[in-house]
Structure 1
Amino acid sequence: MLGVILDTVQGNPVGAVGGLLVGSLVIFWVVPFLYNFFFSPLRNVPGPFWARFTILWEFRQLMKGRSHEEYIRLHKKYGPVVRVSPKRYSIIDPQDVKKIYGFGGDFPKSEFYDSLGDPKNIFTVRDNEDHKDRRRKVASLYTMSAMVAYEEAVDRMTTLCIKKMNDLAASRRLISIPKFMQFYAFDVIGEITFDQNFGMMENMGDTQGIIKEIHAMNNTIGIMGLLPELQSTWRAAQKVLFSGTSTGKVTEYIWNQYWKHRNTNSGAKQKSQYDTFLRKVLELEAAHKVGRINVLDSCGSNIGAGSDTTGITLSAALWYIYRNPDKLAKLRHEIDTMTAEGRISDPVTYKQAQEMPYLNAVIKETLRVHPGVGTILARVVPKGGITLTGGYYVPEGTHIGTNAWPLHYSETVYGPDADQYRPERWLEDKPQPDYRDSMMFAFGSGSRTCIGRNVSLLEITKVLPQIVRKFDLKFEEKKDPWDAWCAWFVYPKYKCWIEPRQPVENEA
C-alpha cells in the first residue's frame, strides 16, 4: 500500500499532497478501524457503533450537555462494561471499580487531565507517586477535626446567607438557587481560606470573575480532555488569545492573598481572630515542610472542591427536598423535634448535625443521585493489562474508568429503586453484599479521593438545616422547571421564589 502511494506522488506535487492525505487516512483511521473490529481483545465489548472507531460519539454527547444521562442509558442497555470511544471504556461493576481505584493501585490518570496545562496541581498531576507526596504534605489540614476549627467562619457566612434569603423573600424576586448556592459556597471558602469572603452573596454576582473562569476551565477539561493531540496547541492559543491559562484569575488571587498574608503577618507568626487555612499552610512553609507549589495546591483545592461541588450539591438537595413534600416534612420534623429538646442550636453545629440521621441520609442521597462530575474519571491500564469481571482482557495503555452517574444509578448496587430519590435507603438494614458506601463516587475513590471533600461536607452540613428550618421554596409553574447541563461538572438549573416558612399542621 505504501509503495503504491510513493510511486503515485513521485514528481507530482499535487499527487504528493493527495498521497499524504491517503496515507494519513490509512494510518490514523483505517488501520485502527480494522484492528478494533477484527483483532482487539476488546472487540466484543458492547457500545455505540461509532464509538468503536472514533471519539466523535463521546464528543457529541459532551457537546449536547447530556453525558451524565447518556452514560446511564448505555449501561442499562449494554451492561457493566461499555465502549465509549476506540480507546476509552466505562465500567461500573463494583469489583472492577475497586481494582482500578483502590488504595495501592497502579492505574495513573490519563492524558485527559493534561488539558488544564501547567503548573500541575494535586488534582491534575498524573503520576501516582508525585500525587502521594503532594497529598501527604498537606493532608493534616483536611481532616474533619481540622475543618471544624473553621465553624466560626462558616457560621458568619451562613448568617449572611439567611439574611440575604430574607431580603430575597421580601422582594418577591425569582432567583436561580444554583447561582445563589454557588455564591454562598465561594464566600465560605474565601472566609475559611483567606479570612476574606468574595462578596458574592452581598452583591449577588461573580465579583472576581472566578466562577466564570472555573466554569470555562471545566468546559476545557471536558472537551480538550478528549483531544490530547490538540492540548499543546490549545494551551499556546490560550496564551496568545487570552493572555494566560484557563485558571489565571484563580492563581493570581491565591498568590495575592499569599503575599498579603506574609507581608502583613510576619510570615505566619501573628494570628488573626482564628487561624485561616492559608495561615496554617504558611506555618508549614515556614517550618520547611511544604513549598510554594503546595500552597497553590491546597488553596486551589479549596476553591475547586469547596465551591463547584458544594454549590451543585446544595442546589440538588434543595430541589429534591422541596419537590418531595414527604421528605421535606421528615427533615423538618427531625430539626423541629431536636430544637424543642434542646439538642441542636441555631445555627446547628457540625457535631450536632452528626446526630441528625435523616439530615445525613438526605445529604448522602443527594450526592448519590446528583454527583458533581458527569463523565468517566479515566485511568490508564498499567503494564500487564487487567482482566475485568466479565472476562474481558484490557491491554496496557487502554483508558478505563468509572462515571459516578451510571454507578450511582446501578440497580446491582443500590437496588431496583436506584432511580428514585429516597434518603430512607441509608437508614434501612443493609443488603448483602453491601457495596453502597464503597461505591459512592461523588468525590472520587481511593487515594485520589478529592482532598477537599471535608471542606465541602462541612459547608453542606451547616447550611442545609438552616435553610430548611426557615424557608419555603416555590418553583416556577412550567413544564420543565429543572434542567442540568454537563460540560464536565453537571450544573443544575432552576429558579424559584423564596418565602418565609409557613407552619403546616401535622407536617411530619
Structure 2
Amino acid sequence: MESPSNKLNMIVIPALVSSFDRYHALSFLAVALVICALSRKYGTSIKDVPGPFVASFSSLWRVYHLMKGHSEDEILKLHKKHGHFVRIAENEVSVSHPDAVKQVLQANIAKGTFYSMFSLPDYHYVNQMSELDPTRHIQKTRNLSAGFSLTNITKMEPYIDSVLETFKTRFDELSATGSTVQFQDWFSFFAFDVLGEVTFSKSFGFVESGTDIRNAIANTGSLVYYIAVVGNYVWFHYLTLGNPLFSRLGLQPSSHIFDTCLIAVENRKKNPEIRYDMMQRWLDTRAAHPDRLSEKDIFAAAVANIGAGAETISATAQAVIYYLLKNPQYLKRVREEIDAAQARGELSSVIQNSEAAKLPFFQACLKEAYRFHPGVAHNLPRIVPKGGMTIAGKYFPEGVILSVNPWVIHRNKEIFGEDSECYNPNRWLQADIKKMDAFLIHWGVGYNQCPGRNLAQFELSKVLTTILRDYDVEMVDPSKEWQFGTRFLAVPYGWPCKIRRRQNV
C-alpha cells in the first residue's frame, strides 16, 4: 500500500512540473517579444527617426488612434513636435516636407500593401485603388478612362439633373414640415443615386425614399472603419472579408453593391439600347480590346466606384455648408454672388455645372473645403524603390514605407499661409495660386489620383449651389460643433439643421 506521502507526491510533483513549464513558456514568450520589439525598434535604417515609442515596433499605436477617431490630429501634433519626419510604424515614416508630394506621391513607385484592402468584394477583384503596381495601375486607368472622362460626365448631366430635381422636392417637403435635416444622410443619398445613374443608368432610389436602402450607407461606414484598422494586418483580411469564400456567401458589407453590378451587366446583354453610361463605355472597350479589359476588371471598377464615391462627396459637401454657417461673412458673400447670377438670368432652374463654374467665390469656398477638410484623412503610403530615396537631405533605403497625410500637407503654413489652420476661401482668389494648387492633394496626385474626381466636382458644384440659392439653412444648435471620426475617411455627422425655402428664387 502506498503511503500518504507518496500519494501526495504523485499529485503535487506533476502540478509543480506543469506550473514550472507554464512559467518557462511564458518567460520564453516574454523574452521573445522583447527581443522582437528591440529588433524592430533598433535593427532598422529608420531607428533615428523620432516618433511614439510603441509605434517604433508595433502597429498598435496607429490602431489605437484610428479607433479613438482622430488620428489626423495626432499626426499633426507629431509633425509639429518632431519636424518633417515621424516614425508611425515599424517600417513607416510619415513625411510632411512639401517635396514629398512630388517625390513620393507623384512618382511612379509602388503603393503600400494597405491599398490591397480596397479590392472589392475580394482579393480577386483588383481595381485602380487596390492595384499596387504603378505600371498595371496606369494600364487600368487608360482602359477605364472613357467612363470617367469629363466629356462623358457632361453627357450624363440630364440624368444628374433628374436626381437633383428629386432632391429639391424632398427638401421642399422638409422645409414645409419643419423637419430636421441630417446633411450627412442627404448628401450620401444624393451621391449614391448619381452614381447609380451614371454607372448603371438607374438611380438607387435613396433620395426618393429618404432612407438608407438596405443599410448601404451604414455598411459603407463600417467597411471604411474595417479597412482603416485591418489595413494594418492585410494577412488577416485575406483570411476573412477579403477571402473569395466570404464574397460567395455574401457576408461582406459591400456584397449588395457587387450584386447590383452583376445585375447591371446582365441587363446590358439583354438590352442593346441601353444608354452610354460608365458601364456601357467599359463594356464597349472590352468588346474592342478583350485582351486589355476583362469582365472582372469591369466589376472591380464598378464596385469601387459605388463603394468609394458617396462618402467622399458627403464629407466635402458637409464641409462647405458647415464652414459657411460658422463664418457668416463668407455665407453672405457667396449668397450675394449666386443671387446676382440668378438675377442676370445666368442660372437655370436646375443649375448646370458650366453655370456653377462661373461663380468664382463659390468655387473658392469649395476649394477651401477640399483643403481644410479633405475627405481622406489617412496617410497615403508608398514603398521606397531600388536605389533608395532622399527627401530634404534625409536618405531612406529601399523597402522603407514613406507616407503623406493630406491633412498635414494642407495645413502647411509655408504653402497655404499663416492662417492655414483656418477656413478662408479668400486665399484661392489671390493673383498667384499655382503653388497652392500643386499641393492640394484631396483627390490624390500622380498615377493614383482619384478617377472619379470629374464626377465629384460636377456633383458638388450642382448640389451645393442649389442649396445655397434655394434654401436658408440654420443649425438646430449653432453653438454645437459637428463630430467626425478619421478612419480612412473623415465623414462628419451630428449637426442637425433646419431649412426654409427662399421665396425670391
Per the normalisation by structure 1, the TM-score is: 0.88
Q: How does 1:125-204 map to 2 (within 5 A)?
A: 125-204=131-210
1:136-189 alpha-carbon deviations (Å, 9 max, x no partner): 101122121221111101111111111111101111111211111100111111
- Structure 1 unaligned regions, length at least 5: 1-11
User: Which residue is 1:113 aligned to?
Assistant: 115
User: Offset at 1:32?
Assistant: 4.1
- Secondary structure of the corresponding residue to residue 436 of structure 1: helix
User: Which residue is 2:367 aligned to?
Assistant: 364
CA contact (8 A) 2:86 2:95 kept: yes
CA contact (8 A) 1:91 1:97 kept: no
User: Offset at 1:271?
Assistant: 4.2
Q: Against the structure 1 CA distance between its residues 18 and 145, is the aligned structure 2 distance closer, same or farther, given a 3 Å change threshold?
A: farther
C-alpha distance in structure 2 between counterparts of 1:220 and 1:35, whole Å: 26
CA contact (8 A) 1:238 1:246 kept: no
User: Offset at 1:42?
Assistant: 2.1
C-alpha distance in structure 1 between counterparts of 2:220 and 2:304, whole Å: 12
User: Which residue is 1:206 aligned to?
Assistant: 212
Per the normalisation by structure 2, the TM-score is: 0.89
C-alpha distance in structure 2 between counterparts of 1:237 and 1:144, whole Å: 35
- Secondary structure of the corresponding residue to residue 87 of structure 2: strand
Q: Which amino acid aligns with 1:313?
A: T
C-alpha distance in structure 1 between counterparts of 2:454 and 2:34, whole Å: 45
User: Offset at 1:24?
Assistant: 5.3
Q: Against the structure 1 CA distance between its residues 239 and 487, is the aligned structure 2 distance closer, same or farther, given a 3 Å change threshold?
A: farther
User: Offset at 1:121?
Assistant: 1.6
C-alpha distance in structure 1 between counterparts of 2:308 and 2:220, whole Å: 11
Q: Which amino acid aligns with 1:254?
A: C
CA contact (8 A) 2:182 2:496 kept: yes
How many residues align? The count is 481
- Residues 16-25 or 156-165, more deviating: 16-25
Q: Against the structure 1 CA distance between its residues 450 and 177, is the aligned structure 2 distance closer, same or farther, given a 3 Å change threshold?
A: same
1:64-104 alpha-carbon deviations (Å, 9 max, x no partner): 0111222222222222221112222211212122111114x
C-alpha distance in structure 2 between counterparts of 1:66 and 1:364, whole Å: 23
- Residues 56-65 or 475-484, more deviating: 475-484
Q: Which amino acid aligns with 1:300?
A: V
Q: Against the structure 1 CA distance between its residues 415 and 180, is the aligned structure 2 distance closer, same or farther, given a 3 Å change threshold?
A: same
Q: Against the structure 1 CA distance between its residues 235 and 185, is the aligned structure 2 distance closer, same or farther, given a 3 Å change threshold?
A: closer
User: Offset at 1:124?
Assistant: 0.8
C-alpha distance in structure 2 between counterparts of 1:112 and 1:260, whole Å: 34
Q: How does 1:241-260 map to 2 (within 5 A)?
A: 243-260=250-267
User: Which residue is 1:7 aligned to?
Assistant: none
Asked whether 1:43 is paired with 2:10, we answer no
User: Which residue is 2:11 aligned to?
Assistant: none
- Residues 219-228 or 378-387, more deviating: 378-387
CA contact (8 A) 1:41 1:392 kept: no
Selected match of 1:312 from 309, 312, 315: 315
User: Offset at 1:297?
Assistant: 3.2
Asked whether 1:335 is paired with 2:341, we answer no
Q: Which amino acid aligns with 2:104?
A: I
- Residues 277-286 or 460-469, more deviating: 277-286
1:416-440 alpha-carbon deviations (Å, 9 max, x no partner): 1001111110111227xx5311111
User: Which residue is 2:448 aligned to?
Assistant: 448
User: Offset at 1:335?
Assistant: 1.2
- Structure 2 unaligned regions, length at least 5: 1-16
1:445-496 alpha-carbon deviations (Å, 9 max, x no partner): 1010011111111111111111100111111226534111122211101211
Selected match of 1:226 from 218, 229, 232: 232
Q: Which amino acid aligns with 2:241?
A: R
User: Sequence identity of aligned pairs in percent?
Assistant: 28
User: Which residue is 1:4 aligned to?
Assistant: none
Q: Which amino acid aligns with 1:468?
A: L
User: Which residue is 1:91 aligned to?
Assistant: 95
User: Offset at 1:232?
Assistant: 2.9
User: Which residue is 1:495 aligned to?
Assistant: 496
C-alpha distance in structure 1 between counterparts of 2:157 and 2:296, whole Å: 27
1:1-38 alpha-carbon deviations (Å, 9 max, x no partner): xxxxxxxxxxx88777766665555555424425524x
Asked whether 1:410 is paired with 2:408, we answer no
Selected match of 1:56 from 60, 66, 75: 60
Q: Against the structure 1 CA distance between its residues 153 and 17, is the aligned structure 2 distance closer, same or farther, given a 3 Å change threshold?
A: farther
- Secondary structure of the corresponding residue to residue 163 of structure 1: helix
Q: Which amino acid aligns with 1:192?
A: V
User: Which residue is 1:285 aligned to?
Assistant: 286
C-alpha distance in structure 1 between counterparts of 2:487 and 2:209, whole Å: 27
For the pair shown, the structure with the greater C-alpha radius of gyration is 2
User: Offset at 1:362?
Assistant: 1.2
User: Which residue is 2:3 aligned to?
Assistant: none
CA contact (8 A) 2:117 2:242 kept: no
User: Offset at 1:205?
Assistant: 1.2
C-alpha distance in structure 2 between counterparts of 1:299 and 1:204, whole Å: 24
CA contact (8 A) 1:380 1:400 kept: yes
Q: Against the structure 1 CA distance between its residues 239 and 291, is the aligned structure 2 distance closer, same or farther, given a 3 Å change threshold?
A: closer
- Secondary structure of the corresponding residue to residue 155 of structure 1: helix
- Residues 286-295 or 153-162, more deviating: 286-295
Q: Against the structure 1 CA distance between its residues 258 and 236, is the aligned structure 2 distance closer, same or farther, given a 3 Å change threshold?
A: closer
- Secondary structure of the corresponding residue to residue 437 of structure 1: helix
1:312-338 alpha-carbon deviations (Å, 9 max, x no partner): 111111111222211111111111212
Asked whether 1:33 is paired with 2:32, we answer no
CA contact (8 A) 2:51 2:86 kept: yes
CA contact (8 A) 1:374 1:489 kept: yes
User: Offset at 1:278?
Assistant: 1.8
Q: Against the structure 1 CA distance between its residues 399 and 27, is the aligned structure 2 distance closer, same or farther, given a 3 Å change threshold?
A: farther
Q: Against the structure 1 CA distance between its residues 68 and 339, is the aligned structure 2 distance closer, same or farther, given a 3 Å change threshold?
A: same
CA contact (8 A) 2:254 2:307 kept: no
Asked whether 1:378 is paired with 2:381, we answer yes
Q: Against the structure 1 CA distance between its residues 149 and 413, is the aligned structure 2 distance closer, same or farther, given a 3 Å change threshold?
A: same
- Residues 68-77 or 190-199, more deviating: 68-77
Q: How does 1:407-486 map to 2 (within 5 A)?
A: 407-430=409-432, 435-477=435-477, 479-486=479-486
- Residues 329-338 or 12-21, more deviating: 12-21
